């Protein structure tokens, strides 16, 4: 090893140690909360003025081992007796005096966070709370921070001057420290300011070192730090929200997972005797009661494909066995969200593969997708499963445009086995194969083989009939719109206002499809017309990018025109659009418009999901703010999104005249 390499290794190791030390400090330091701390008013309920009972909500405190909590309050010299309950279980009594702090031992627990009820014998004003070590020293996290920061600094140093690589390494280290900083540390400011400022001070060090770097490298340092920030933020927000309960739909996923784990995958749709001889068509058409999975005192219909069931089952087994720091409810929450988060990771690979001839743009768009709420809001926050099949949809479209029928068929069939909504893009895929003179029959054969392999175990166990019955059920949506702001959402609101006594500007109620018996037919006709328009626009196009643009427009057309579309169903649209490269300004504007509409819709209808326990007390103000978003203006925002979405669809269909321009730009 020559002197230059040794110097680079030493500098990289020093930057790595800087990052690791920061992680150790912010994760294992003591924290003191006072009435002047920013988080006092919602972490301490009833702490001032003088009260006889108050509640401490310690968000995020790790309890793998017992923690010491020190209470200080105004009392006379004799002191005041206090009874302590932790998580609504009594742990004894302490005495609060003027001259010393009362010590509370918070018992160990699998899940982080604690609710502490304090009842005192006389009114007292709580003056401070000290926590001895918010968490145990995170040796594994510190080691990982060291290796990541050191490795990145070394890698960047191969292409840049050492001062510039050190600057990027310090910037990355500061981001890791900020992501590892517990919420209680930030909420303790100014009491915990010495720790909360550690990450910003490291970032300031990175800025100073960037200024000291050669001028030619400063732009690269800024861009690199921005990309790293987006990567760390995307990872942090997913990790932070994974244990939350998500949307109400996740209760269905949990019921199906429970059934698959207990009874086996081939019996998730019911037992062999769930469909008695001669009752197939009656259950198929909904004239007789179908099998339902029992979970948590309720019955849940089962209507997702086998591969989705397999992923949830595998995820549950892995999380329950290998993940620590979660209670039983959080294990179920994480297990049903994890496949969607894995889909987000696969989406990055899909973008890099589709745009492999333009690596810089591919990296930028992949990181953009990872950081934007169009990806993580649906997957890690709310728990919808659409992210699992989105990468396969992008791969199938790209393969069809490249004339690779087998890959297109395999990807499309696998996507449909995760969620049938993926089949919306099938007309574009086969049209793309025909346009490229690909053997579309090979795609159909490959898809059929995947289907046979997936359903063969059900046929062998005698549960194929009940599986077919339940999968057919998903075709019959019971609402005009399941939440997506399309014309059916507006029509349903107009029809239900009189019967439900709702004002025109009030919150939109879900309307039954029975209000318009012909709605399914009209929705299908409108979607077929949009499909014809999209396929017509493909006549003058030949590249894979054109096929992906057509697929994205078709997904959005489905969302606007079909009946029963839920707010999360067009999720694959955003990955597909980003995978085109968005070379034209027109399409960048279209992407921005549909992304804003989508995120607003999700926040208005589902908020940030459901939260239990003390883990998320720190973001209570944000949760409440989001809940008020829908009616903040006095008018249901989703009503305003209906005409906006219609205009966006019209513009997308009109832009087919410009699809040919992509051929010269890619």
On the question of pLDDT at 218 being above 50, the answer is: yes
Domain parsing of the chain, residue ranges: 3-29+139-238, 36-132, 250-473, 487-665
**Residue range 519-535: average pLDDT?**
91
Backbone φ, ψ for residue 541 (5° rounding) = -115, 155
Confidence of residue 198 (pLDDT cuts 50, 70, 90): low
**Residue range 357-376: average pLDDT?**
93
Token pair of 559, please?
Answer: 């969302």
**d(C-alpha 375, C-alpha 391), whole Å:** 12
Confidence of residue 208 (pLDDT cuts 50, 70, 90): low
C-beta neighbour count of 54 within 10 angstroms: 22
User: What pLDDT score does 664 carry?
Assistant: 43
**Residue range 570-580: average pLDDT?**
93
Please give the CATH number for the structural domain made up of 36-132. 2.60.120.260
Whether the link from the prior residue into 49 is cis, omega within 30° of 0, is yes
Strand 89-96 to strand 80-86: parallel, antiparallel, or no bridges (unpaired)? antiparallel
Backbone φ, ψ for residue 611 (5° rounding) = -135, 135
Contacts of 143 (CB under 8 A, 6+ apart): 20
On the question of pLDDT at 413 being above 50, the answer is: yes
Q: Which of residues 327 and 307 earns the better pLDDT score?
A: 307
User: What pLDDT score does 2 carry?
Assistant: 64
User: What pLDDT score does 573 carry?
Assistant: 94
| pLDDT per residue as tens digits for the range 29-86 | 778 888 888 778 778 876 556 667 888 888 777 777 777 777 777 655 566 777 888 8
User: What pLDDT score does 659 carry?
Assistant: 55
Calculate what percentage of the chain has a pLDDT beyond 90.
36
What distance lies between CA 68 and its chain's CA centroid? 34
On the question of pLDDT at 99 being above 70, the answer is: no
Q: What is the 3-class SS of 231-271, one letter each residue?
A: HHHHHHHHHHHCCCCECCCHHHHHHHHHHHHHHCHHHCCCC
User: What pLDDT score does 101 carry?
Assistant: 67
**Residue range 609-630: average pLDDT?**
84
Helical pair 328-354 and 359-371, crossing angle rounded to 10 deg? 160
Contacts of 414 (CB under 8 A, 6+ apart): 307, 389, 392, 450
| pLDDT per residue as tens digits for the range 489-503 | 999 988 887 766 777
């Amino acid at each position: 090893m020559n002197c230059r390499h040794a110097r680079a290794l030493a500098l990289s190791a020093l930057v790595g140690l800087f990052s690791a030390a920061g992680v150790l400090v912010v994760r294992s330091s003591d924290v003191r909360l006072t009435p002047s701390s920013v988080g006092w008013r919602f972490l301490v309920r009833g702490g001032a003025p003088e009260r006889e009972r108050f509640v401490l909500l310690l968000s995020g405190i790790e309890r793998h081992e017992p923690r010491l909590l020190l209470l200080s309050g105004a009392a006379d010299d004799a002191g005041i007796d206090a009874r302590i309950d932790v998580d609504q279980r009594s742990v004894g009594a302490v005495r609060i005096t003027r001259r010393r702090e009362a010590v509370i031992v918070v018992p160990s627990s699998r899940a982080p966070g604690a609710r502490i009820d304090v009842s005192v014998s006389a009114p007292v004003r709580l003056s401070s709370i000290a926590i001895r070590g918010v968490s145990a020293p995170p040796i594994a996290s510190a080691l990982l921070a060291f290796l990541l920061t050191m490795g990145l600094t070394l890698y960047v140093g191969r292409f840049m001057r050492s001062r510039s690589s050190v600057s990027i390494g310090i910037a990355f280290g500061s981001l890791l420290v900020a992501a590892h900083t517990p919420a209680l540390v930030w909420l303790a400011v100014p009491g915990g300011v010495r720790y909360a400022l550690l990450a910003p001070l490291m970032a300031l060090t990175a800025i100073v070192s960037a200024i000291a770097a050669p001028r030619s490298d400063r732009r690269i340092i800024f861009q690199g730090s921005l990309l790293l920030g987006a990567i760390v933020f995307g990872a942090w927000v997913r990790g932070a929200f994974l244990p939350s309960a998500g949307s109400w739909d996740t209760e269905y996923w949990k019921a199906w997972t429970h059934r698959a784990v207990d009874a086996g995958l081939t019996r998730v749709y019911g037992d062999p005797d769930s469909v008695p001889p001669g009752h197939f068509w009656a259950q198929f058409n909904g004239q007789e009661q179908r099998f339902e999975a029992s979970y948590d005192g309720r019955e849940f219909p089962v209507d997702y494909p086998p591969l989705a069931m397999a992923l949830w089952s595998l995820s549950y087994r892995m999380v329950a066995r290998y993940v620590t720091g979660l209670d039983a409810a959080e294990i179920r929450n994480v297990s049903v969200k994890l496949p969607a988060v894995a889909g987000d990771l696969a989406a990055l690979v899909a973008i890099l593969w589709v745009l492999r001839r333009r690596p810089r743009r591919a990296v930028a768009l992949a990181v953009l997708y990872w950081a934007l709420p169009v990806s993580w809001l649906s997957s890690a926050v709310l728990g919808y499963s659409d992210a699992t099949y989105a990468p396969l949809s992008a791969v199938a479209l790209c393969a069809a445009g490249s004339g690779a029928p087998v890959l297109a068929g395999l990807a499309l069939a696998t996507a449909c086995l995760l969620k049938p909504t993926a089949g919306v893009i099938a007309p574009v895929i086969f049209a793309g194969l025909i346009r490229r003179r690909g053997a579309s029959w090979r795609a159909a054969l490959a898809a059929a083989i995947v289907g046979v392999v997936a359903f063969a175990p059900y046929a062998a166990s005698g549960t194929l009939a009940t599986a077919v019955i339940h999968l057919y059920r998903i075709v019959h949506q019971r609402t005009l719109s399941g939440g997506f702001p399309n014309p059916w959402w507006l029509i349903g609101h107009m029809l239900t206002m009189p019967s439900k006594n709702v004002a025109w500007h009030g919150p939109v109620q879900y309307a039954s499809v029975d209000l318009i018996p012909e709605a399914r037919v009209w929705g299908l006709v409108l979607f077929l017309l949009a499909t014809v328009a999209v396929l017509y626009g493909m006549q003058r196009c030949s590249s894979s990018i054109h096929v992906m643009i057509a697929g994205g427009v078709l997904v959005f057309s489905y969302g606007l025109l079909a009946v029963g579309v839920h707010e999360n169903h067009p999720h694959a649209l955003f990955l597909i659009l980003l995978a085109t490269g968005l070379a034209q300004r027109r399409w960048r504007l279209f992407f921005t418009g549909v992304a804003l509409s989508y995120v607003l819709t999700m926040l208005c209808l589902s908020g940030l999901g459901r939260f239990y326990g003390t883990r998320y007390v720190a973001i209570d103000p944000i949760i409440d703010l989001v809940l008020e978003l829908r009616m903040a203006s006095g008018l249901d925002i989703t009503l305003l999104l209906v005409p906006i979405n219609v205009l966006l669809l019209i513009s997308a269909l009109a832009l087919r005249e410009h699809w040919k321009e992509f051929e010269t730009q890619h």
